[in-house]
Amino acid sequence: MSYCHARTTGLPFDRAVAAATEALGQHGFGVLSDIDVQATLRKKLGKETPPYRILGACNPRMADRALEAEPLIGTMLPCNVVVREREDGTVEAAAVDPVASMQAVSNPRLAETAGEVRDLLRRAVDEATG
């Protein structure tokens, strides 16, 4: 089982970030955090890297269900979506697979919700990169 769902796109980096944010919104997710890894590594380490952003996405309905099923599951939230420029210049978007990341939690109610979130995130990545 893979820990993420990834696809490349022909969009330029900034447009891919906007497309991912828009597609997430279409599936009920808001972006709670937007981490510019490239800027952080430049500032903290003086290292130059290709553009790389981590979008912390949350679907409030799904988060509520997950928290009701497993109160400490917030340690694994929000769901991360990455948009990055690869070394060859192509742009890739990827979303965490919540089913894979939550395998350690033995809770059937949580597993059902994780499966639904995985499907929504996959659709968002596919739409953003398609």
Question: pLDDT tens digit string along 89-123?
Answer: 999 999 999 999 998 899 999 999 999 999 999 99
pLDDT of residue 124: 98
**48-61 pLDDT, tens per residue?**
999 999 999 999 99
**53-94 pLDDT, tens per residue?**
999 999 999 999 999 999 999 999 999 999 999 999 999 999
In the chain, where are the structural domains located? 4-129
Closest CA to 117 of 101, 105, 104, 129: 101
Amino acid, single-letter form, for residue 84? R
Return the C-alpha torsion angle 35, 12, 28, 115, nearest 10: -80
Q: Which CATH number fits domain 4-129: 3.30.310.70, 3.10.20.30, 3.30.70.3270, 1.10.260.40?
A: 3.30.310.70
* pTM, two decimal places: 0.95
**How many angstroms separate the CA atoms of 42 and 44, rounded?**
6
